[in-house]
Amino acid sequence: MFQNDAFGPLDRQECLRLLAEVPVGRVVYTRQALPAVLPVNFSLDTDASVLLSTSPGSDLVRAVDGVVVAFEADAFDAATRSGWSVVVTGRATVVTDPAEHERLSQAGPASWMPLHGTVFVRIESEMVTGRELRRTRGTR
């Protein structure tokens, strides 16, 4: 098997630290039996779950509530050919508890889009994987 020391795995804690540094990621889910990818702003909750804020009538809410989805975020520097990518996989649920909704209204993510009402979607961080790309000698 070919080994490439330019790629290195990231442990869970490092993945979560990196996720907390970027404001936008992509939620990957199924829409009409086909893969769909939607860029979203997000935040991490204290339990390391990914939080999204959207409108009650959004297609995303209907498509992801109660199903397993993936969430990916990354950062790359083209000049140095370095960066990282993190994927969180877990069940997505709409936050329905009034106290939790109120807490997230104060401390959770604010949608970058104007919303009429707010729904929070929580993606449990059941599986967190990541890798880092490091520039190696000989690359330009």
pLDDT tens, 17-32? 999 999 999 999 999 9
Cα angle 60, 106, 64; round to 5: 15
How far is the CA of 39 from the CAs of 14, 80, 131, in angstroms? Answer: 22, 25, 20
CATH superfamily, domain at 7-133: Electron Transport, Fmn-binding Protein; Chain A (2.30.110.10)
pTM to 2 decimal places: 0.89
Q: Give dist(CA 65, CA 12) in Å, integer.
A: 25
pLDDT of 117 reads: 83
Query: How confident is the model at residue 1, as a pLDDT?
Result: 41
Q: Which residues of the chain have pLDDT under 70?
A: 1-5, 136-140
